[in-house]
Structure 1
Amino acid sequence: MILVLLIAYYLCLPKELFKNPKATVITSRSNELLGALIAQDGQWRFPKNDSVPEKFKICILQFEDEYFYNHPGFNPVSIFKALKSNLSSGEVKRGGSTLTQQVIRLSRQGQSRTYFEKFKELILATRLEFRLSKDDILNLYASYAPFGGNVVGIEAASWRYFNRNASHLSWAESATLAVLPNAPSLIYPGRNQKLLLDKRNRLLKKLYDNETIDKLTYELSIAEGLPQKPYPLPQIAPHLLQKIAKTNRGERVKTSIKIDLQEQANAIVKQHHDLLKQNEIHNLSVLVLDVKTREVLTYIGNSPTDKTHQNSVDIIDKPRSTGSILKPFLYAAMLDAGDLLPNTLVADVPTQFGSYQPENYNKTYDGAVHANDALSRSLNVPMVRMLQEFGLDRFYHYLKALQLKDLKYNANHYGLSLILGGAESNLWDLCKSYAAMASTLNHFNSNSSRYFTNEFSQPIYNSNQTANFGKLTSEKTVFDAASIYLTFESMKQVNRPESDESWEYYDSSQEIAWKTGTSFGFRDAWAIGTTQDYVVGVWVGNADGEGRPGLVGVQTAAPIMFEIFDLLPKGDWFAKPYDEMIEVSICKKSGYRASSICDATEMNYIQASGKKTGPCPFHKLVHLDASERYQVNSSCEAVSSITNTPWFILPPLQAYYYKTQNPYYKPLPPFRIDCTESSGISMEFIYPNQQSTIYLPKGFDGKTNELILKVAHSKPELELYWYIDEQYIGNTKDIHDMAVLPSPGEHYITVIDELGNELKHRITISE
């Protein structure tokens, strides 16, 4: 029987005393409360903390159980006094329970307060004393004691009644909370103030009498007021709280968030939201990552807007149209594949691919522009032409390697518009990719020119986790270090917003590789930037997808990004990855590798894969007479008198636009009149494009406006003859513009120069 009783005694206490649902609590990396989500039973019951604050510990022991550290779970003297008092009065007036017994009673919710129940609590209390240390038992009591209303536990009570952490409470505040569990329904803060004040002050007097506190502390403590009503709990990172609650409901999670940065970023977001909402732009989100640790430092899922404008939606992981934010990935991919050099000239002329006709944001063209300028200026037409040349499937392969989860369809589904916002992505994945590129470059320079296999890993927001970059290898993960460095060098040149446009003249400024994006219809505005140490990403728009005039990345998202960068420590610019680069001679005008006839060259470092690129195709050797005013050949000039001169020559259509932006561009001299021209002739339509549909507007007088046909010719001095549907309509010389008024329907436009070269386009005139 003794053995059976011992076994019963051993098994009488459940392994888990408290199974109540708990609130979800998140804290910063320095353990400040960021926010809490109420428990599923509607109680503010925080998960058990590791320890009890010292002031509260002293107060609760003095008020409830002075001999807590000396008894075996019950106090015979207290029980005897309680029994005597209750018997003499004929009713239960005094409990005599120790804190250990109260822990048992709290765990056995709903049990009646009878002598038999008290006896069971006494047995279970002694068993609990064998299982746990005194400090652990005290911690259980502090975590599950009722503090009035739906507030349970010292941590929740401290925040609800005093709006601060329990470890920061004063003696008066600690004493107030110590007396609350004794009768939480009777002396709920805000009611019964006199009774609550008397109980608190008696406890403070006891602390003064036993010299726990001095006279000054006592006098200041009793002068403190009482809490009047509960405070709302902090909501410093509410959307991160919701994200964590999906996987860690009812847990306390210490995050990687820097609370000072989070709060400052919150203030910036509120300030900009107050301005943006005047233009009916209601939502924005911000993400800040530490490049080296891949930790989330700031997480703002949405602006402080209202429910009507979906303030509860966390936009950081929601798919949105990318606008131009993918352009750096295309530039880096072409560098990585060796299809491009940083300064290579690319065409910027009116372009049409079937029914798709991209346009630059400012509706103008440069004719030809250096690739890095096309990226830094975010020119649409050159980037689309670069994508078409590089190959849609090849670029799509790079994007999938970046693990952009919202690319759910194949490459043909997106087409060439992929580079201009035809696809969707989210701020989380984009910031992760920019951080991974920066980290790749950092690791390459600090690990003897090697890469990590898992460089494009997910960011982390749990401080107990660390980023797993994988193993070191000599093989690149996605982009090689040189391509990333050259891409960042180009992104560094992006024109900053007006408030930051003279940044390079200030010592306090830092170099940032950044890019903006604006989706079609002004629905999404992006700005993402990176330094060696940090990535800051910003999205601005409306959660419901409504577009607004002025919702442009550089105007709305970029200022927020730069203000947040100003809060971060300044660092050095990326080190050049020399081991992945080679030094070659570059043609200054074209950006290609210099040929033997380039007239101006310079030595530049390029990515190693760029050595397979061809020589400059725009420099050609032309034959001039002694005056160098005319081209000649052996049919009209002695070979000994011919001057061979390198000449920078662009195709006619590119040259037409290029010379408007570059006044020093020199077209080829004409052939001398006595020479037989043997060089190739080329001409191209400036307007309209092949197979385009044209709507002819009407003027104020009600008459239909004429269509202006334009052609660029390599020899503008030649005469051109114009035909519509094989009917001659006129001729031009020097300036090849022709005004026509064709009837609605399909027409063929034919242009023939005086040497017999022919150009033909099909167009449709729509009513």
Structure 2
Amino acid sequence: MTQSEDRPPHPTLRVYLSPERRGEEKRPASWARWLTIGGFSLFVVVVAGIIQLNSAIIGIAGTLPPTPDLATLPVSVSVTDRDGALLRPFTTRDGRWRLPVDRTGVDPRFIDMLIAYEDRSFAEHDGIAWSSMFRAAAQFIGAGGNVVSGGSTITMQVARLVEGAPTRNLWGKLRQMVHADRLEHELTKDQILDLYLTLAPYGGNIEGIRAASLAYFGKEPTRLTTAEAALLVALPQSPEARRPDRDPLAAQRSRDMVLDRLFALGALGEEEAIAAKREPVPIARREFPMLAAHMAQQAVRLQPTARSVELTIDKRLQDALERLAAGRARLLDPRVSVAIVAADIDTGEILASVGSAGLFATQSAGFVDMTTAIRSPGSTLKPLIYGLAFELGLAHPQSLIDDRPTAFGSYVPVNFDGFSRGTVTIHDALTESLNIPAVVVLDAVGPARLVSRLRRAYADPRLPVDTAPSLAVGLGGVGITLRDLVSVYAAIGNGGVPVQLHDGVRPVPAVTNSAPVLDPVSAWYVSDILADVPPPLNGSPGRIAYKTGTSYGYRDGWAIGFDGKTVIGVWVGRPDGAPVPGLSGIVGAAPILFEAFDRLGNRKAPLPRAPQGAIFASNTELPMPLRRFRHPNESIVARQAAPQIAFPTDGVDLDLGLASGYGAPLTVKVRNGVPPFTYFANGAPIGRPDFARQSAWAPDGPGYVTLSVVDAEGRGDTVTVFLN
């Protein structure tokens, strides 16, 4: 070389030559060394004769292990997505990463470089390249008895890998040659090459080119750069000494040696070789893919003997939603987890399943799959309640309903904010998620019917043991999973037709639910109302139909929605069931839901159009029976409980500003009972409004006051409060 080799301006190509051609003086050989050389040469000749005659003469053939079959060779179980992309591999039982691979899954350029470097006569020889063996012997002699190359073919290397025994002695070499001869007779060249690609060692517990490419480059070996391919050719020759994660310089030298030799052989152009040398080698191992970790683990558990398990997951969407869940969880609380399920409405295929905000997130119990955890659904069942009322002909979205304090025996539902809206439409009652109207409607349609329709939607609601469904079910008094809720909303988005979610592993029963969850018109009414639910700050109105929910004690935040093609459900909370102050569906889960829909890409689709039979009308244009929601047993509902003063409650102190002389009037509110009501303050009547459930009264001054109310049937209630 004419340039200084102390610090060359660019990578150089060194063609490795024999000592004679480098002008080096050969060392004199001792008699012992010459005897060794002669012995090795004689060994080569003898081996040739043995194999040509019959290898069984020396008993080797009978002790060889059976020829491996790639179809049964122990490999890492690979869980893939719907298109065959790797989601998560698992190590073999002995802890090795050995992913199934064949030549069709490897860059052809690597195959060419491997054969050119390791075994140029691979296609012609019968397992042993005698020219290479004699060349190795000549190099042995020329190097003064030092091994320069072993002369092993790819077939011989496969034989060594199958046996797992060293071949640094004459007997081991002989056994390897006999084994190679057998492999050539029992396998095709392609099968031998596939075995090499699967078994070649790459350092540590990495075996096979696929595992090596993922570990060192973070990608499948289908497309490799010249530098990457050269490194993967070099590593199996001395995998521990050349591991790039332990000795990057040794890895680089071995890679460059391969590039130099390929250039010398004419298998690589000079410019390509020089450019490849400039590419840095990896300095650390990468983590193997671990997408859909919970679902993948469950799938492998269900198919313990499978070598590869294909899920319905979309890898791109799964990766995007896992990143979304992890990022949002970090902003909320380190103890909070996030779960997301996305499914195709038409087929029920689960496109993404994020079980937690991170499998190894210890503070949020990331190992727990919250897509299948039984939790309280909060208000997320209200759409189905109203859908049943539409189906039974009890209501229309524009029907009026009273949002007033109401008790059902000992069960007294209240709205989330504690306030009543008076008379509202069913549409507004659902978009504002009012509790009292939902319970009134549920009492009309029946809790048992609601639970039955949930089961039609392939959900599995969990009730307390030996109890019948009660009105509390409508506001979250039932156990259900995120996957079940997604199934329920998929049915609503599918025009009421049940959709059974599946992941491609669990068999779908041949007998499916034929009974609809809702009729098409009722399902569309619900969808149309949910499309009007105000979106969070990061969302646009009308894009999706969705509903939020918050369980009792701020333990679970939900947001479930769908467009014309996809349904997505989001859960936020602590896996241990502890309360999260301030957590709600609209604040915690809804923003994640809308971001999830943003990541659908070309799967976005508009909401379905109204089916035939849908009524478009204002309240005044509706038939008279539909203008106001009426409970089928309204007289029973009205009379089932005595009147109760809802506000103010007994024993409270109220600051009305009376001490300043400009006190505000006191409004007394009543729930239950039969109107009209008569109101009293310290025994004196203060009002008897027609059918109104509240009355305003201006106190004379501060002090204690006893408030009473009596309904039309003479039942009453009394509270004592202090006014100031």
TM-score range, shorter chain: 0.7 to 0.9
Q: In the alignment, what sits opposite 1:644? A: none
Q: In the alignment, what sits opposite 1:348? A: 403
Picking from 382, 385, 392, the partner of 2:437 is: 382
Measured in 1, the distance between the counterparts of 2:673 and 2:125 equals 105
Map Cα deviations across residues 26-74 of structure 1 (whole Å, 9 max, x no partner).
4444555444343342222222345332122122212221111111223
Return the offset for 1:387. Answer: 1.2
- 1:697 corresponds to 2:697: no
Measured in 2, the distance between the counterparts of 1:202 and 1:312 equals 45
Q: In the alignment, what sits opposite 2:521? A: 482
SS at match of 1:369: strand
Picking from 284, 287, 295, the partner of 2:349 is: 295
- 1:469/1:582 Cα in 2 relative to 1: closer, same or farther (>3 Å)? farther
Q: In the alignment, what sits opposite 1:604? A: none
Q: In the alignment, what sits opposite 1:55? A: 109
Q: Which amino acid aligns with 2:328?
A: H
Return the offset for 1:124. Answer: 3.9
Greater strand content: 1
Pairs aligned (count): 639
- 1:729 corresponds to 2:696: no
- 1:540 corresponds to 2:569: no
Picking from 619, 626, 629, the partner of 1:588 is: 619
Measured in 2, the distance between the counterparts of 1:337 and 1:721 equals 38
Picking from 611, 624, 644, the partner of 1:577 is: 611
- 1:275 corresponds to 2:331: yes
Q: Which amino acid aligns with 1:312?
A: F
Q: In the alignment, what sits opposite 1:497? A: 536
Picking from 751, 757, 760, the partner of 2:710 is: 751
1:176-187 equivalences in 2 (<5 Å)? 176-187=231-242
Picking from 25, 37, 45, the partner of 2:98 is: 45
CA RMSD across the alignment: 4.4
Check the 8 A contact 1:283/1:541 in 2, yes or no: yes
Map Cα deviations across residues 169-192 of structure 1 (whole Å, 9 max, x no partner).
211111111111111122222455
- 1:555 corresponds to 2:598: no
- 1:307 corresponds to 2:266: no
Measured in 1, the distance between the counterparts of 2:64 and 2:97 equals 31
TM-score, scaled relative to structure 1: 0.72
Q: Which amino acid aligns with 1:13?
A: P
Map Cα deviations across residues 189-214 of structure 1 (whole Å, 9 max, x no partner).
24555554443223212322344332
Check the 8 A contact 2:442/2:474 in 1, yes or no: yes
SS at match of 1:227: coil
Unpaired runs of 5+ residues, structure 2, are: 1-53, 656-665, 690-694
Map Cα deviations across residues 350-385 of structure 1 (whole Å, 9 max, x no partner).
111222211011212133332232222111111111
- 1:237/1:498 Cα in 2 relative to 1: closer, same or farther (>3 Å)? same
Measured in 1, the distance between the counterparts of 2:555 and 2:293 equals 25
Measured in 1, the distance between the counterparts of 2:117 and 2:454 equals 65
SS at match of 1:514: strand
Q: Which amino acid aligns with 2:715?
A: K
- 1:191/1:552 Cα in 2 relative to 1: closer, same or farther (>3 Å)? closer
Map Cα deviations across residues 243-265 of structure 1 (whole Å, 9 max, x no partner).
43433567444544444433443
Return the offset for 1:556. Answer: 1.4
Measured in 1, the distance between the counterparts of 2:482 and 2:187 equals 47
Q: In the alignment, what sits opposite 2:42? A: none
Map Cα deviations across residues 681-717 of structure 1 (whole Å, 9 max, x no partner).
x99976427xx996523679xxxxxx9865699999x
- 1:111/1:413 Cα in 2 relative to 1: closer, same or farther (>3 Å)? farther
Q: Which amino acid aligns with 2:157?
A: Q
Map Cα deviations across residues 110-163 of structure 1 (whole Å, 9 max, x no partner).
466554554444444344334433222212111111101121111111122222
- 1:74/1:468 Cα in 2 relative to 1: closer, same or farther (>3 Å)? farther
Q: Which amino acid aligns with 1:697?
A: V
SS at match of 2:557: strand
Q: In the alignment, what sits opposite 1:73? A: 127
- 1:434 corresponds to 2:489: yes
SS at match of 1:67: coil
Check the 8 A contact 2:335/2:363 in 1, yes or no: no
Check the 8 A contact 2:374/2:481 in 1, yes or no: yes
Measured in 2, the distance between the counterparts of 1:161 and 1:712 equals 70
Picking from 221, 224, 227, the partner of 2:276 is: 221
Check the 8 A contact 1:23/1:47 in 2, yes or no: yes
TM-score, scaled relative to structure 2: 0.76
- 1:512 corresponds to 2:544: yes
Return the offset for 1:408. Answer: 5.2
Picking from 213, 218, 222, the partner of 1:163 is: 218
Map Cα deviations across residues 620-667 of structure 1 (whole Å, 9 max, x no partner).
xxxxxxxxxxxxxxxxxxxxxxxxxxxxxx99x99xxxxxxxxxxxxx
Measured in 2, the distance between the counterparts of 1:362 and 1:374 equals 14
1:205-244 equivalences in 2 (<5 Å)? 205-244=260-299
Picking from 145, 158, 162, the partner of 1:107 is: 162
Percent of aligned positions with the same letter in both sequences? 29
- 1:331/1:719 Cα in 2 relative to 1: closer, same or farther (>3 Å)? closer
Q: In the alignment, what sits opposite 1:598? A: none
Return the offset for 1:340. Answer: 3.3
- 1:23 corresponds to 2:76: yes
- 1:319/1:340 Cα in 2 relative to 1: closer, same or farther (>3 Å)? same
Check the 8 A contact 2:451/2:461 in 1, yes or no: no
SS at match of 2:470: helix
